[in-house]
Amino acid sequence: MQTLLVLNTKPDLEEDLVDYLMSQPCVGGFTSYPVRGHGQHGNLSVAEQVTGRRKRLQVEMLLDEKEVQCVLDGLAENVGRDINWWLQTVTASGSLDHPEK
């Protein structure tokens, strides 16, 4: 069964995170994009408290369920500790390729 692993972290971990994920044989590819986090005001800087949001990086990848632990095992040691993650069940996935002309 396929699972969507979502990682959410501070932007300054991006290079280490990308390097780590690219080195994992169980990761075939992933998507990353900037997002904004809201809440937990005790962890926000003064500027973030004023705007009510914090810059974050989100990474998503489809994995076989049994491969998720492979990715999670080395994150803290190889990337950092400010990483939140969650899993979402994927009922189907595929690719719509353009036909040859």
The CATH number linked to 52 is: 3.30.70.120
- Total domain count for the chain? 1
Gap between the Cα atoms of 17 and 78, Å rounded: 8
Contact (CB, 8 A) for 61 and 4: yes
Tokens 């998503």 sit at which residue?
60
Domain presence at residue 98? no
- Give the model's pLDDT for residue 92: 92
Give me the pLDDT at residue 41, please.
Answer: 59
Determine, yes or no, domain membership for 57. Answer: yes
- Measured between alpha carbons, how far is 72 from 101 in angstroms, rounded to an integer? 43
Average pLDDT of the segment spanning 75-98? 91
- Residue 68 inside a domain? The answer is yes
Q: Is residue 95 part of a domain?
A: no
64-75 pLDDT tens trace? 999 999 999 999
Confidence of residue 82 (pLDDT cuts 50, 70, 90): confident
101 in a structural domain: no
Residue 76, in any domain of the structure: yes
Q: In this structure, is residue 96 part of a structural domain?
A: no
Q: Which helix (H) or strand (E) holds 47?
A: helix 46-51
The pLDDT of residue 7 is 97
Model pLDDT for residues 9-62, shown as the tens digit of each residue: 999 999 999 999 999 999 999 999 999 887 765 666 677 666 677 889 999 999
Residue 33 falls inside a structural domain: yes
Q: Give me the domain span that covers residue 37.
A: 2-89
> Residue 31: phi, psi to the nearest 5?
-120, 140
